[in-house]
Amino acid sequence: MSFSEPAVKALLSVGVHSKEILKVLAGKQVPGEAVHALQILGALNSTRVSKLSLFGEMVWDFNEDNPNASRLLRGVRLKVNFDRYRNIPAPVILEIKCVAFLYINVPGFFKAEIDKKPVRMRKPQTYVINFDHALKFVDQLYTVLREELGDFYIDSVLQSLSSVPSHYYRAAAATYPFAYIPPMDLFFRAIQSPGLQGTLFPATVPTVNFDNLPWLRVGVEKARLVDEEKKEPSVPSQN
């Protein structure tokens, strides 16, 4: 898919007009006071993210973008269903969609944050997995927030990832029921990209090193890396 410049321009204005957009998403906008928000959401929602899906849809289907995928990968494995994550507020879903759109269509935007290597277009099965793990974690993050602070506070104050204090990430990791895998860190480094702070996000998203969080479970590859680090001989201190 080729990216839409109007869509990129719109998503980089979300944070600037976040208060207007919140009212629109909540159905509370005052006529005549949400012009910019409606223009931004209109430009985004009508943008194609795959051959089968538009940005504004709650299921992004990439099956037709990868016609040669094996039967094991086809179907739900090539779909991102944003409706599954009931604890995440709608404005935060919008933020994640915007990052995902850039991640797919403008990977060079995150070059420095992700790997500092030549940027290649990712395959659908790769970014669908990354999005799924990121959404699962954010859903757990907001589960923790709702349990501690209550729905009213979340739905009136913590309507952006830039509003969530960093210490809640530790609490979410400690109770996250799925295994932590390194691709999650890549996606959240994209979220923390300097180019998105004050543009997509109304404020600065806290910097969190996902490798250092107290994960309840870790994936096989991550466990192997941790085990290798433990086996490395320590350098004796010199007196």
Q: What is the distance between the alpha carbons of residues 171 and 128, in angstroms, rounded to a whole number?
A: 25
Whether the pLDDT of residue 188 is over 80: the answer is yes
Domain boundaries, the chain: 57-225
Q: How far apart are CA 101 and CA 60, in angstroms?
A: 11
> Which of helix, strand or coil describes residue 26?
coil
Number of H helices, E strands in the chain: 10, 2
For helices 18-25 and 35-45, what crossing angle results, to 10°? 70
Are the beta carbons of 138 and 163 closer than 8 angstroms?
A: no
How far apart are the C-alpha atoms of 11 and 3, rounded to whole Å?
12
Q: What is the largest CA-CA distance in the chain?
A: 73
Beta bridge partners of 61: 79
Cβ count within 10 A of residue 136: 16
- Give dist(CA 215, CA 194) in Å, integer: 26
Six-digit token string for 58: 């709650």
pTM over 0.75: yes
Q: How far apart are the first and last CA of the chain?
A: 60
Alpha-carbon distance 102 to 104, whole Å?
5
Q: Tens digits of per-residue pLDDT, 39-65?
A: 999 999 999 999 999 999 999 999 998
The string of pLDDT tens digits covering residues 155-176 is: 999 999 999 999 999 999 999 9
Q: What is the pLDDT of residues 207-223, one digit of tens each?
A: 999 999 999 988 655 54
- pLDDT at 199 (0 to 100): 95
CA–CA gap between residue 129 and residue 152 (Å, rounded): 32
Cβ atoms of residues 16 and 162 within 8 Å: no
Going from the C-alpha of 194 to that of each of 109, 110, 113, 136, the distances in angstroms are 10, 9, 9, 24
d(CA 223, CA 67) in angstroms, rounded, equals 34
Which pLDDT value is given to residue 13?
94
